[in-house]
């Protein structure tokens, strides 16, 4: 005899039986009909019977080694539940009740009754077609309604005995709808429109019984819902609570399949079939509210979260949920939270791709996307103007209502008014909006926070990609400037990366700052300068070259460096005699930093040599650079020598 007996008269009961079978636990499963028996798995750990048992037969069954009874009978089978309770009490068998969660409704939306007979009595005084979904055993009550055979449409199970008994009562032809649930809102609404239903009679079957779908469909079809209340108000476990109890009671390890699902831009219609199926089958659905709303459905736990630690905590606290889906916007590989989630949840997680916002937007614009550069400034800093300056086609996820106006203000300030852009708001939703224009058209525009932008810069392909900007392109005044040849070698010695964070100490006109900022569009340059007139010139050159990832810092080093983010690289063009203190601070901020020092005076040369001797540095190198430029003297060209420059290069010993 199995130690567990399950009375599986509902969908939830069958799910509990299958849950036990999947975990290798033997159980005796009692169902009400042969049809119910046919729905359960064969050849596993379950012993299934459709024999109807009275209280004494239950006592005999429980006394034969049964330790636990799970009562998952229908909420309206009150007499069966009472028999099970009494039999458990007499045999001392542990009893748990699986209940369906009730659904609340607006009283103006429904007619509440205590029985099907009361519903039929009320409907006698109404006009219009009736859809009866209370089961074939209750159909006789509807025969009191005048002209019931023409007014009532009965939805019942597609079983021969059921069809025969319904026919005997006069329900035939199109008035007898034989279908197996569950039914979606769309299916219910379509059926009600097809048969011009004015009244839908249903039992309050809870979330898992499809009641919310019936309520929503009645609203949509303009019908009145007649609800037969439950005969008992019971206490017990929900489906998930019952599974959790069984795991703990039987000391069974949970088996969870976790899927990260890309749902596309947002509308359910644009999801892949695989994503939709996974979300529908999930017992636990996690995501931001917008994502879970797109995947909402009956029979699942829903948890609103987007932080990886919150999501993991939720999964860990629901071990009973075997199928877990985390809904993520767009595609899981395109600026998605999937990357961080994989670090938290582990590599066994399933990744299901979706349609990214870029792919969707480019399709709507009628352009290919293989040469479009994608970026996101949603929740992070990004030098987007630098990207647009460098690339002909750029796509960006903005994520705020002011994002477009702020971007266009920068494009306008940097003289990039020729850039053409398309703004997409609420892609895939009914109120989707796409607007073409130029920066000046969007300076005061507020958009929806679900916003993306596509930018075209026809001038980008002609831009020189190597560093070495001609000196005469810089605004100079009387401020000293590192010359082009020295600047070119010095920047090359830094070995910058795409995302480098760089200090330019003693920035002067900002020629080196601008050169570096344009070379690292994904990084940032902090130009430190103490002279007010040079600071103003720095700001002008920043605008002149459109270097949005350049921040001008007025002050004297090393004090001005203390509050700045840790650098990966530093160029020192002027130290005012503080080279040792500056180097000490840089190495303290980042022991792996790479530093280049330009020295013209012999005093600075001595300071640089002392720094290289005193501190723990590696990759040391000294280059002496002498440059001569030609000048015209009448019909002749003569070479004029520039001041020789010593270029010191070294790195912290922590350098990988």
What is the model's pLDDT at position 231? Answer: 64
Which residues, 6 or more positions from 580, have their beta carbon under 8 angstroms from its beta carbon?
607, 610, 611, 614
What is the model's pLDDT at position 84? Answer: 94
What is the model's pLDDT at position 269? Answer: 86
What is the model's pLDDT at position 382? Answer: 82
In this predicted structure, the answer to whether residue 288 has a pLDDT above a threshold of 90 is no
Q: How confident is the model at residue 112 (pLDDT cuts 50, 70, 90)?
A: confident
Give the mean pLDDT of the chain: 90
Q: Which of 211, 228, 245 is the last residue of a domain?
A: 228
Q: Are residues 362 and 309 in the same domain?
A: no
What is the model's pLDDT at position 629? Answer: 87
Q: Are residues 345 and 363 in the same domain?
A: no
Q: How confident is the model at residue 523 (pLDDT cuts 50, 70, 90)?
A: very high
Q: At 518, which CATH number?
A: 3.40.50.150
Q: Are residues 329 and 389 in the same domain?
A: no
How many angstroms separate the CA atoms of 420 and 484, rounded?
A: 33
Per residue, the 3-state secondary structure of 232-282, as one string, reads CCCCCECHHHHHHHHHHHHCCCCCCEEEEEECECCCHHHCCHHHHHHHHHC
Residue 302 maps to a domain = yes
Q: At 10, which CATH number?
A: 3.40.50.720
pLDDT digits (tens, 9 = 90+) for 152-203: 999 998 888 899 999 999 999 999 999 887 788 899 999 999 999 999 999 8
Q: Are residues 514 and 611 in the same domain?
A: yes
Helix boundaries (H) for 70-152: 78-91, 116-123, 148-151
In this predicted structure, the answer to whether residue 92 has a pLDDT above a threshold of 90 is yes
In this predicted structure, the answer to whether residue 544 has a pLDDT above a threshold of 70 is yes
How many angstroms separate the CA atoms of 245 and 11, rounded?
A: 18
Percent of the chain with pLDDT over 70: 96
Q: Are residues 599 and 478 in the same domain?
A: yes
What is the model's pLDDT at position 257? Answer: 93
Burial class (CB in 10 A: 0-12, 13-18, 19+), 86: middle
Q: Which of 45, 62, 97 is the last residue of a domain?
A: 97
Q: How confident is the model at residue 579 (pLDDT cuts 50, 70, 90)?
A: very high
How many angstroms separate the CA atoms of 593 and 570, rounded?
A: 7
In this predicted structure, the answer to whether residue 415 has a pLDDT above a threshold of 70 is yes
As a residue count, the chain comes to: 656
Q: Are residues 217 and 141 in the same domain?
A: yes
Q: Which of 326, 352, 378 is the last residue of a domain?
A: 352
Q: Are residues 52 and 113 in the same domain?
A: no
Q: How confident is the model at residue 212 (pLDDT cuts 50, 70, 90)?
A: confident
Q: Are residues 639 and 522 in the same domain?
A: yes
Over the range 556-582, which residues count as b (16 or more CB within 10 Å of their CB) and which as e? bbbebbeeeeebbbbbbbbbeebbbeb
Residue 238 maps to a domain = no
Average pLDDT on 513-525 reads: 93
How many angstroms separate the CA atoms of 536 and 542, rounded?
A: 10
Please tell me the number of Cα atoms within 13 Å of 646 on its side-chain side: 14
Q: Are residues 521 and 642 in the same domain?
A: yes
The DSSP element (H or E) to which 631 belongs, if any, is: strand 628-633
Average pLDDT on 631-635 reads: 89
Residue 32 maps to a domain = yes
Q: Are residues 509 and 629 in the same domain?
A: yes
Average pLDDT on 387-399 reads: 92
Average pLDDT on 496-523 reads: 94
* Domains in the chain, number: 5
Q: How confident is the model at residue 604 (pLDDT cuts 50, 70, 90)?
A: very high
Q: At 421, which CATH number?
A: 3.30.950.10
Q: How confident is the model at residue 292 (pLDDT cuts 50, 70, 90)?
A: confident
What is the model's pLDDT at position 390? Answer: 87
Residue 592 maps to a domain = yes
Q: Are residues 118 and 40 in the same domain?
A: no
Average pLDDT on 91-107 reads: 82
Average pLDDT on 306-310 reads: 91
Residue 240 maps to a domain = no
Average pLDDT on 594-612 reads: 95
Residue 169 maps to a domain = yes
Percent of the chain with pLDDT over 90: 64
What is the model's pLDDT at position 32? Answer: 81
What is the model's pLDDT at position 470? Answer: 87
How many angstroms separate the CA atoms of 551 and 553, rounded?
A: 6
The DSSP secondary-structure symbol of 104 reads: -
What is the model's pLDDT at position 476? Answer: 84
Per residue, the 3-state secondary structure of 280-296, as one string, reads HHCCEEEECHHHHHHCC
What is the model's pLDDT at position 656? Answer: 53
Q: Are residues 488 and 626 in the same domain?
A: yes
Residue 237 maps to a domain = no
Q: How confident is the model at residue 298 (pLDDT cuts 50, 70, 90)?
A: low
Sign, CA dihedral 344-347-349-352, equals: positive
Domain span including residue 220: 107-228
What is the model's pLDDT at position 655? Answer: 57
Residue 261 maps to a domain = yes
pLDDT digits (tens, 9 = 90+) for 560-574: 999 999 999 999 999
Alpha-carbon Rg of the chain, whole angstroms?
A: 37
- The verdict on pTM exceeding 0.75 is no
């Amino acid at each position: 005899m199995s130690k567990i007996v399950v009375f599986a008269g509902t969908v939830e009961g069958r799910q509990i039986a299958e849950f036990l079978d999947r975990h290798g636990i033997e159980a005796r499963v009692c169902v009400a009909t042969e049809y119910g028996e046919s729905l359960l798995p064969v050849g596993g750990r379950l012993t299934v019977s459709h024999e109807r048992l009275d209280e004494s037969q239950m006592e005999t069954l429980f006394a034969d080694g049964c330790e636990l009874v799970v009562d998952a009978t229908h909420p309206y089978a009150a007499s069966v539940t009472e028999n099970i309770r009494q039999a458990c009490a007499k045999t001392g068998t542990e009893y748990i009740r699986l209940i369906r969660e009730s659904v609340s409704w607006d009283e103006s939306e429904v007619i509440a009754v205590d029985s099907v007979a009361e519903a039929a009595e009320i409907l006698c005084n109404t006009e219009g077609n009736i859809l009866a979904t209370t089961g074939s055993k209750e159909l006789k009550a509807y025969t009191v309604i005048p002209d019931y055979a023409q007014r009532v449409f009965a939805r019942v199970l597609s079983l021969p005995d059921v069809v025969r008994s319904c026919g005997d009562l006069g329900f035939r032809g199109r008035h007898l709808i034989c279908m197996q649930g569950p039914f979606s809102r769309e299916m219910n609404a379509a059926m009600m429109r097809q048969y011009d239903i004015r009244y839908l009679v249903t039992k309050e079957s809870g979330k898992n019984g499809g009641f919310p779908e019936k309520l929503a469909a009645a609203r949509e079809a303009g019908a009145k819902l007649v609800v037969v209340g439950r005969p008992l108000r019971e206490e017990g476990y929900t489906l998930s609570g019952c599974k959790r109890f069984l795991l703990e009671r039987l000391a069974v390890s949970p088996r969870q399949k976790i899927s990260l699902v890309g749902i596309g831009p947002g509308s359910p219609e644009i999801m892949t079939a695989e994503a939709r199926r996974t979300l529908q089958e999930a017992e636990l659905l996690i995501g931001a509210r917008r994502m879970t709303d797109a995947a909402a459905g009956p029979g699942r736990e829903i948890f609103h979260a987007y932080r990886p630690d919150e999501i993991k905590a939720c999964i860990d606290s629901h071990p009973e949920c075997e199928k877990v889906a985390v809904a993520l916007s767009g595609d899981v590989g395109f600026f998605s939270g999937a990357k961080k989630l994989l670090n938290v949840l582990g590599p066994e997680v399933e990744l299901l791709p979706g349609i990214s916002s870029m792919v969707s937007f480019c399709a709507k614009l009628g352009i290919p996307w293989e040469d479009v550069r994608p970026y996101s400034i949603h929740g992070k800093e990004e030098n987007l103007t630098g990207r647009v300056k460098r690339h002909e086609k750029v796509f960006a996820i903005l994520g705020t209502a002011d994002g477009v106006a702020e971007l266009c203000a920068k494009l306008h300030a940097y003289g990039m008014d020729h850039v053409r852009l398309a703004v997409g708001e609420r892609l895939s939703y009914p109120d989707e909006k796409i607007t073409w224009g130029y920066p000046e058209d969007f300076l005061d525009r507020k958009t929806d926070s679900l916003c993306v932008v596509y930018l075209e810069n026809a001038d980008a392909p002609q831009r020189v990609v190597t560093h070495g900007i001609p000196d005469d392109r810089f605004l100079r005044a009387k401020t000293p400037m590192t010359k082009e040849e020295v600047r070119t070698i010095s920047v090359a010695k830094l070995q910058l990366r795409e995302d480098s964070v760089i200090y330019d100490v003693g920035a002067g006109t900002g020629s080196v700052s601008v050169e570096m900022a344009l070379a690292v569009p994904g990084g940032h340059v902090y130009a430190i300068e103490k002279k007010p007139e040079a600071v103003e010139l720095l700001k002008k050159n920043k605008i002149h070259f459109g270097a949005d990832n350049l921040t001008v810092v007025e002050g004297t080093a090393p004090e001005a460096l203390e509050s700045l983010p840790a650098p990966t690289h530093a160029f020192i063009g002027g130290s005012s005699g503080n080279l040792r203190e500056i180097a000490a601070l840089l190495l303290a901020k980042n022991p792996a930093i790479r530093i280049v020092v330009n020295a013209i005076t012999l005093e600075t040369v001595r300071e640089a040599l002392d720094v290289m001797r005193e501190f723990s540095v590696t990759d040391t190198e000294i280059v002496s650079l002498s440059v001569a430029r030609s000048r015209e003297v009448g019909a002749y060209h003569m070479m004029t020598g520039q001041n020789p420059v010593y270029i010191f290069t070294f790195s912290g010993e922590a350098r990988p």
